[in-house]
Amino acid sequence: MHCLNRPNQSYRPLPTSKKDQSHMHPSLFVYSWLPQTVREAIPTDISVDHHDSSVAALTPEDFGRRLAGKHGVVVNGMAVGRQMMQAAGPSLRVIANVGVGYDNIDVDAASELGIVVTNTPDILSEATADMGIALLLASARRIAEADRFIRAGLYTKDKFRLFWGAEISGRTIGIIGMGRIGQALARRARGFNMKVVYNNRKPVTPGLEQSLEAKWLALDDVFRVADFLVLCVPLNAGTRHTVNARTLALMKPDAHLINIARGPVVDELALVDALRKNTIAGAGLDVFEQEPKLAPGLVDLPNVVLTPHIGSGTLQTRTAMLALAVRNVVSVLEGNTASTPVN
């Protein structure tokens, strides 16, 4: 976590006097899907330049040109580094990332330049936890394989040993990262009568552990005991390639790996090798190491379920995420504090 109150760090307030305001019209670049209800909530004195990134992506160069001279930006899926911030000019005051993760934003550079960075936590926790359970079930019960089997016209009669999968009830789920999403996942797992173990930088409070019926273990021990290992950590230098050839070798041969965190938390080439050799039984991935590219061989494996980063992909959640991002920008441009700053 970065701190706003760094020594010798100055944030650029918008002009507040009527004389200054007469020469200044706040401007906002929205690089994201933007529902009409959220757009209508933007004050009319803020000019809006909108590009729907869900329809067509801009190149970084075109994005930078559109950002130049703006006071704020709502961004979804574009990397914003130091050079782009500097090229945007001294007017830029706030970058609102649509997502709980913000590894696409150079937060240190933003802090040095006096730019507030925000994200959208909490809102997507429930939807993403739902996705974690969906992938867990799909991998355990071989749903994608069975679907492909039927679509290929191969289902001609009942076969007693057709696509036998793994039991869920009574098995152990290992959660790496017990933040909001990890906790929501643990609550769901208890509904399936699963045993919950977890690893976090530090254990959660005893009261929360008791309510979740969860037990903290050392990281390697979570890999060893989990029947279903679910990744819920943010991406940083300490979590990159948490899943690698060494840790995959610790897992049970009938275990499943689920990633709803960030792609680079997993060494994808090592995972492909483990799945190919049946070192583990299966995997469910919603995120990838070099999105949208996949590691060679990944799509050819029958024992992996792949979804295109849709963990928070519900209408209600995505609308709420955009609404929070816009509120953060408007608050900063009006001289107030953002609701969910990350620096």
Question: What pairs with residue 121 in β-bridges?
Answer: none
Helices of type H across 195-267? 206-212, 219-225, 245-250
Distance of CA 150 to the CA centre of its chain: 32
Say which residue the tokens 């690698």 belong to: 244
**Does residue 15 have a cis peptide bond before it, meaning omega lies within 30 degrees of 0?**
no
Which of the residues 262, 268, 289, 318 is marked catalytic? 262
**61: annotated active-site residue:** no
Cβ pair 142, 195 in contact under 8 A: no
Cβ pair 305, 143 in contact under 8 A: yes
Say which residue the tokens 């290929």 belong to: 152
Question: What pairs with residue 72 in β-bridges?
Answer: 28, 94
Region of 52 (left: φ > 0; alpha: ψ -120 to 50; beta: rest) is beta
Q: Which residues, 6+ apart, have CB-to-CB distance to 82 below 8 Å? A: 106, 109, 113
Which of the residues 171, 309, 318, 327 is marked catalytic? 309
Tokens of 123: 């809102």
Cβ pair 308, 292 in contact under 8 A: yes
- Which CA distances in Å does 2 have to 125, 142, 181, 342? 22, 42, 21, 6
Per DSSP, 161 falls in state T
**262: annotated active-site residue:** yes
Cβ pair 294, 166 in contact under 8 A: no
**309: annotated active-site residue:** yes
Helices of type H across the chain? 18-21, 36-39, 60-67, 82-88, 107-112, 125-140, 143-151, 180-191, 206-212, 219-225, 245-250, 268-276, 315-333
Which residue numbers are catalytic? Answer: 262, 291, 309
